[in-house]
Structure 1
Amino acid sequence: MDILIGAEIFFSLLSVGQIKLNAELITLQKTQLGWIVSGKCKAKPNITRAICDLAVANAEDFVMEDENVDKTLQKFWEIEEVKGCESKCTPEHMNCENHFKENFKILPSGRFEVKLPFKKDPSALGSTFEIAQKRFLSLERRLQKTPEAYDMYKDFMNEYITLGHMSPIENIDFNMPHYFIPHQCVLRPDAATTKLRVVFDASC
């Protein structure tokens, strides 16, 4: 074995050019890395053990015997394996995973949507409308002094609406659990692309 290549890049390496030596034998395929060989191979009767050549990071070739190859491959699969949470996770982690399984959906755009998990009753958030409103009015007064920044801020918010990240709400029931997120802007005049970035202060 010289190299392991994932399927996501394998086909991009293939080039035009293939030679079939024989239906019973091997096929030569031209690639971006040179020619590769694949196909059937008849083992010789006097071979008593398998040998695997590995290419490592420092490019030094070495030969590993069967037992070491088995251990190396086993370790590789153990590292790459995605194990379930049941055996090691805390009850809190399990609750979070179950919440995701029960409350996620795939949107027509292909994105995932999931309800926010709460460790405590959402009513513990308290009243956040007054804080968010106070910060918003202060921000608006500040932005009105710099029309260019004000326009960029409005463009950002309109883009959020267009992308479906947020939507207008009406008839708010303040007796139900709710949360208003204060936000502010960060100006970066030297940035090549995004000169204004909106920061949401969810920790408030």
Structure 2
Amino acid sequence: MSQRNEEQERIEPSKRKDCSTSLYNSTLTTRSKQTKETLLLCKEIKVFNPSQPQLQQNALALFDIGSQLSFISKKLSRQLKLTETETQIMRIAPFGMKEPKSCPTARIQLNVLTTESEIIPLQANIIDYLTNELQVVETSNEFQIQNLTNYWKKPDVLIGADYFFKFISLQEIKELKSRHMLVQSKVGPMIVGSGDIKKLCKNELYPKEVVYSTNANINSELENFWKLETIGIQESPQDDDDDQALKHFKRTIIKQAGRYQVCWPWKDSKQKLSNNDGLCLGRLKNLINRLQHNSNLHSYHQILMDQLHSGIIEEVPPKDEVGVIHYLPHHEVLTPSKSTTKLRIVYDASAHHKGFKSLNEVLYRGPVMLPDLVGVILRFRMMKIVITADIEKAFLQLELQNEERNCTRFLCYHIVSLKY
């Protein structure tokens, strides 16, 4: 990598100025001398308050058929003094993100004035921020499509698929000499698509937000690629989450009746944990059918009874509502080749309903202890005489404190009648 950096330093300054990196909506691109630009479906529209028509504003609207609903910025809503109704938490899934984002929102009524003085009422949701600045090429006359004015501006209105076709007819589309498309709408013609911006506008404008790409990011990515932290061979640098989990463990662990009792290392997001009882009931029915089919039902039940008598699990007392209530599905793991434990019961802490988090996701991972294992093995080899011992079901010897147990509930069955 150092050789490549030296090569870049030899590039003439005049050549380096030809390229810069610009941030577009959802796209990071490198700009050269080319003038090809992609325009989104944007238009300055006149909007006003239905209850107080004198309160009106010109606002940039983005027409986005990929959005199910329409939105308005909080700033514009306040300027028009719109009445808010149906306040709620809305889960929005932005492009490129796997998990939806929760946003507080409210519904408003808004009127749009068309070029023919028609009033189109619409309902929109208030949101703090719509998107970055977009390039707009304004034209009020479909026959005058040269030497136009272009500018960059943040939209304050997003008209989604719920109202899109009240404004735009996709049958009225014309290709321009610049290779852009001219789309007719009730709020005036719009220029959209990809083409040569110089054939449309007097000047080529650039966005205010500019991002420069450096080799530092590449070096960092390559360094992370070669690290082996993920399998625990190399100890990672100090991790605040890991430190916090370890401090919490040392602060809360107690010894009670000869066994250590611990608490869960909760994150702040534990309120997003779902109950899971319906999910677990469905998984239990499938489990019973599977165990009956492979004749492991009695073995499975016997393991649960042994754990109950050993104090590893317990029945939930009536009206026990202490702490977080959460149910875990469970299933069998068969290892016929083992001489001792041929069937184990495993609890699925990754299960969750859509829109909620699993138990694993609301707990800190804790520090990786595998690097310490190397020292243990080396010290083991230094001694002339060593003694080894095995703790039977070691993980089951740790006990949860009373207020931490309700988040590990699970559903069981009666072995005789199979009642749930």
Superposition TM-score, scaled by structure 2 size: 0.25
- Normalized per residue, the structure richer in helix is 1
Greater length-normalized contact order (CA 8 Å, ≥ 6 residues apart): 2
Q: Give the number of the structure whose alpha-carbon radius of gyration is greater.
A: 2
Which structure shows the bigger proportion of residues in strand conformation? 2
